[in-house]
Structure formats: C-alpha cells, structure tokens
Structure 1
Amino acid sequence: MKTYRSTLCAVLLFALPTATLAASNTDLSVKGTLTPIACTPLLSNSGLVDFGKISRHDLNADRPTRLRDQTLELTIQCIAPARFALLMHDNRDGSATVNSEIYYGLNHDQSANKIGLYALHFDPAHTVVDELSQVYRTDSTTGGKAWSASNSRSIPIGARSYLGFTDMAGSNAGPIAIQRLTSQVTLETVIAPTAGLDLSTDIQLDGSATLDMVYL
C-alpha cells in the first residue's frame, strides 16, 4: 500500500479566438514544475493486515460484524521539508458495502456479493511530525484550493479529500512543510451479514488500496 507519485504536472490552456471571424490556429501552453524534493512512504508489515481464518459462527447473520481493529505504523521520510497531502485509492473500487469515499471494499464472494468494507483512520494524537510537540490535521475537498480549520480529531482518510498536517489549531492555511512524519493508523473492518454471503466455500477477504502522496 505505498506509491510514488511524479511531481510533473501539466496544464493545458486553450486560447479561443475572440474575433467574429473563425481563426485558422489556436495556442497551446504546457506548464509545470519539476522539484528535487522526494518523499518515501512506508507502512509497517509491508502494509499487510491478515485476520487469518474467521468462523461463520463469529459473524452476525442479520447485521454487519465489526472485526477487531488493527494498527499499522506509517512513516513518511522526505529528503527535505515538503508540503504534501494524503489520499487513498481503492483498488477494489465498487465493492464496499457502503458507498462513501472513506470506505474501501473487500471484493466479492464467488456469487458476486460484497463481502464488507474497511476504513483507515489517522489520529493527530498518534502522529509525530519532525520536532513538533503537537500535530493537527486539516483536509481539503477542493483539491487543495481551500482547507478546513485544523483540529486534533481523528479522521478516516478519503479517496477524494486531501489530508494534511499542521502545527497550529484552527488554521485554514493548509499543511506545513514536513520532513519526517510517523503515524499509528487504525484499520476498522466490517463484514457484511452472512445471510447475504455465499458461504458454501471459503471467502477470501481481498481488500487492496494505494496510499497516495500529493505534493502541494
């Protein structure tokens, strides 16, 4: 569950003619920034969470069953302080039992039933950034154009919302530059009611997601 993202961005600008007569040409501009800064994200246990074998008798037939929470340690190391945000891409898109950007799927059973979902929570209280004594989280639903007021509440990482960290509570300025971040993240997993699953054979939990870094 780690990824490396290129920092080359291209913006295409098409200039349309304003004259009343049609022009025979148009302009194209390609812009971007190449940065020497690079960061490496790593998850403990190679990002693997294995629940082993779970008996159907330990699962609810008529309502979802929440499995025991699991924790992983995320480390992000940059060669120099960098402003970045995090989001997550579901490699089993469309298989979560609840349609929300914070829930990720566990794939399907052999009869194409959705097995369940999971979420990955970040808690500022369990996050260490460089030499800061306290960390706050901030998020953006506008691709980094605007940021929420930073606070210390835990939050599940989304597939479309940016998650960043700062050193000041109540700030709308967005993430600060960070060289090293470590965070204990919590995985919450829910299995669908077994009455709606095909348990004629073993069902393999098959969640897969990519934690993505976006340079700001």
Structure 2
Amino acid sequence: MKRIPTTLAAVLLVSAATCALAASTEGLTVNGIITPVACTPTFSNNGLVDYGKISRQDLSVDNRTQLRDKSLDLNISCTAPARFALIMRDNREGSAIVNSEIFYGLKFDRSGNKIGLYSLNFDPARTVVDALAQVYRTDSTTGGRAWSTSRSNPIPIGAKGYLGFTDVAGSTAGPVAIQNLSSRVTLVTVIAPTSTLDLTDDATLDGSATLEVVYL
C-alpha cells in the first residue's frame, strides 16, 4: 500500500499535539512495510497515443464523436512474484467532459472549453500473467480491503479504484502474486460536440495520466 500519505498524516498529528500543549496525552502508532520487490510498468511507444490532425468535418456538431480506438502494449515486470494492483492518476484533472473516475481529460481549447475525454480499458482475454492459463480481473473501491467478484469481461481503469488480476473465476480474494504481466490495452477517446468548442484556431488534444503500481 502507499505509505507516504500515512507518514505525512503522522507528522501533522505530532505537530498538532505539540501546539496544543494539553495536559492529556494520546498515543501515536506508525505502521509500514518496506518490501524488496520492485515492479516496473512499461507502455509501448513510450505511452504516446497520437491521433494526428482531426478535421472539424469529421466531428459531430451536436453530439459527441468517438474517435477510432487505439491500442498500447503494457508490460509489468517484477523482481519477484508480488501482489499488486493498478490505479491511474489524471494529470489533466477537471478537464474531462464527463465527471467520472474512469474518464480522463484532454485539457481545454483556447476559450477554456473542455475538449473531450478518454478511458483506458483492460481486457482479461488480452492479458497474459506468468504461466497462468486464464486471467480474470478484480477491482476494489475500498483501498484493497474488499474485492469485487473476479470476471472475464473488460473494464476501464479508474482514478480511485484498484484494478488487479487473478487466475480464479468468481473469487473475491483479490489479486494473486504476479511476476510478469503483459496486456494489450485499448484507449477510447471521445470529442465534445463542435458547437461547444472554439475552433477558430487549432484545439490540441493534451491528455496525460500516470499509471501507478500499488503493492498489496
């Protein structure tokens, strides 16, 4: 799990206790685990998805337009088998045209209008884990304390929920330990109606997100 926020919270609590100078006392416990295992995620094409120039005529005036799907290969290599999950952080937070943890923003046009959104989708059928015969996905919205029933259908990765993988169908035990994972992930991109955009000049799609490995 991520330990830096826990350490920061502890420092804040200590500072508050020092300033209060109260006669009563309260204990503080700091927990954590330093693991020797390291997992490194790598996207093909350095994680770059380029749609090139998109003509205004190819976009809908009144409705959102879904661009052609794009694919990237994701490889995660660990120094030893490890239980981990994935989460993605939007570096353009607040610019997606739909407010949801599974949608990420493409920034704004010259007038401050939101250009669109995208999602990153994982398909267990296109995911290979070590020597496992089949892979299922499972997710957690409680920081890894509880896990959804593992399934084989695709799922978009979220900015709040953990995404993990297991070889057991219908399991709620969470991810299994993995050393090597490879997956063909799909980027789905949607552009806002042109009637809501300022297209007197080029509008640049500028999405950016960070995929994070969370050790369990």
**TM-score past 0.5 threshold:** yes
How far 1:12 moved relative to its partner?
A: 4.2
- Alignment partner of 1:169 is 2:159: no
Code of the residue aligned with 1:201 in structure 2: it is: D
Code of the residue aligned with 1:99 in structure 2: it is: N
Code of the residue aligned with 1:158 in structure 2: it is: G
Greater fraction strand: 1
CA contact (8 A) 1:101 1:158 kept: yes
The aligned residue for residue 129 of structure 2 is 129
CA contact (8 A) 1:7 1:35 kept: no
The aligned residue for residue 29 of structure 1 is 29
How far 1:7 moved relative to its partner?
A: 6.2
Q: How does 1:5-154 map to 2 (within 5 A)?
A: 10=7, 12=10, 23-154=23-154
Code of the residue aligned with 2:138 in structure 1: it is: T
CA distance in 2, matches of 1:102, 1:44: 21
Provide the aligned length of Structure 1 versus Structure 2: 205
Q: Deviations over 1:147-172 (max 9, x none)?
A: 00101010000000100000100000
- Alignment partner of 1:202 is 2:199: no
Q: Deviations over 1:43-90 (max 9, x none)?
A: 000000000001100111110010000000000000000000001100
How far 1:23 moved relative to its partner?
A: 3.8
CA distance in 2, matches of 1:6, 1:52: 37
Code of the residue aligned with 2:124 in structure 1: it is: P
CA distance in 2, matches of 1:50, 1:57: 19
Segments of structure 2 that go 5 or more residues without pairing to the other structure are 14-21
Q: What is the SS of the residue equivalent to 2:28?
A: strand
- Alignment partner of 1:192 is 2:197: no
CA distance in 2, matches of 1:106, 1:172: 35
TM-score, normalised to structure 2, is 0.91
Root-mean-square deviation (CA, aligned residues, Å) is: 1.8
CA distance in 2, matches of 1:151, 1:24: 51
CA contact (8 A) 1:7 1:215 kept: no
Segments of structure 1 that go 5 or more residues without pairing to the other structure are 15-21
CA distance in 1, matches of 2:29, 2:102: 36
The structure-2 alpha-carbon separation of the partners of 1:174 and 1:167, relative to structure 1 and needing over 3 Å to count, comes to same
TM-score, normalised to structure 1, is 0.91
CA distance in 2, matches of 1:74, 1:25: 50
How far 1:30 moved relative to its partner?
A: 1.8
Code of the residue aligned with 2:163 in structure 1: it is: L
Identical positions, percent: 66
Q: Deviations over 1:180-205 (max 9, x none)?
A: 00000000000000011000000100
Code of the residue aligned with 2:33 in structure 1: it is: T
